[in-house]
Amino acid sequence: MRRERTVRQGHHVGNEAEEPQVPDQRQKKRHQDPGENIQEFGSTKIPTAKSSIHTMVIIGQIEGHVVLPSQNKTTKYEHVIPQLVAIEESKDIKGLLLILNTVGGDVEAGLALAEMVASLSKPSVSLVLGGGHSIGVPVSVATDYSFIAATATMTIHPIRMNGMVIGVPQTYEYLDKMQDRVVNFVTMHSHISDHDFRKLMFTTGELARDIGTILVGKDAVDVGLIDEVGGIDKALRHLEGMIAEQHRKPRRARTEKKEVQ
């Protein structure tokens, strides 16, 4: 009798117990810790944090009109340009942080990105990590202020053309004009002179079987190419200060207008 009662009681208790619920995978991802999100997926999209600064990363090789092999790490300029347009149009984004670790790439694509960044009305800061080589140089100086890591490098060299080159005067003139476009842009958006930049481009002896100059960290600042040596902390603080300054200027203008009236 006792045995039967025990079984019934156990059966009764078992009926009252709730069945274990399996958490919804979408809900689990939604409430996942931001740190775990970065660790597992390598994602910079943290839904719990809102920022007025948009971070854009230029890595690998800047891909232009020719599609590079799949094993190459590339940044496609047709993906970046719409982002820059969206940054300019967005009311929530107040500034751009541009991080570069690039070997260079397509000259026209690189100049297109540089021109887009330079024409933004919102404050922008660049940070060169690892390397900002070749056509990455004009992209890195296109922002309002630029930083470079102490161990990062920048390679400055003349424009080179891949593939078959026809040895005629027209080819040389075309390359010369393309080179002038790069030089003019860099000198307009940095503190280096035309003469000094061209001198770095045509230096011999530093690069194996080539001409050009490699600048490491502080060297890029000393020649006037980059504004300051620093990391992510300095870059963010400087950008936040620029955003705050831009917001103060319209207020001052309105105050001055009222005083005149």
Q: Which of the residues 54, 140, 146, 157 is marked catalytic?
A: 157
Q: Which of the residues 134, 140, 146, 190 is marked catalytic?
A: 134
SS3 label, residue 65: coil
Whether 54 is a known active-site residue: answer no
Amino acid in position 46: I
Asked whether residue 258 carries a pLDDT value surpassing 70, the answer given is: no
Structure confidence by residue, pLDDT tens digits, 23-82: 555 454 455 555 555 555 555 554 455 778 999 898 887 877 777 777 777 778 778 888
178 vs 16, higher pLDDT: 178
Task: Report the distance separating Cα 146 and Cα 160, nearest Å.
Answer: 26
* pTM as predicted: 0.70
Task: Report the distance separating Cα 4 and Cα 83, nearest Å.
Answer: 72
Structure confidence by residue, pLDDT tens digits, 142-200: 999 999 999 999 988 887 655 445 555 555 566 777 788 889 999 999 999 999 998 98
Query: Angle at the Cα of 223 (from 111 to 132), degrees rounded to 5?
Result: 40
Percent of the chain exceeding pLDDT 70 equals 69
Beta-strand relationship, 53-63 and 74-76: parallel
- Cβ neighbours of 73 (radius 10 Å): 12
pLDDT, position 142: 94
pLDDT, position 88: 92
Q: How confident is the model at residue 140 (pLDDT cuts 50, 70, 90)?
A: very high
Lowest mean pLDDT among 18-27, 43-52, 94-103, 116-125: 18-27
Asked whether residue 219 carries a pLDDT value surpassing 70, the answer given is: yes
Q: What are the two backbone dihedrals, phi and then psi, of residue 23, each rounded to the nearest 5 degrees? A: -65, 140
46 vs 125, higher pLDDT: 125
Q: How confident is the model at residue 104 (pLDDT cuts 50, 70, 90)?
A: confident
143-171 per-residue burial string, b: 16 or more CB within 10 A, e: under 16: bbbbbbbeebbbbbbbbeeeeeeeeeeee
pLDDT, position 67: 74
197 vs 206, higher pLDDT: 197
Q: What are the two backbone dihedrals, phi and then psi, of residue 73, each rounded to the nearest 5 degrees? A: -80, 120
pLDDT, position 102: 87
Whether 157 is a known active-site residue: answer yes
Residue 40 in tokens: 């597992």
pLDDT, position 17: 47
The average confidence (pLDDT) of the chain is: 76
Asked whether residue 257 carries a pLDDT value surpassing 70, the answer given is: no
Q: How confident is the model at residue 253 (pLDDT cuts 50, 70, 90)?
A: very low
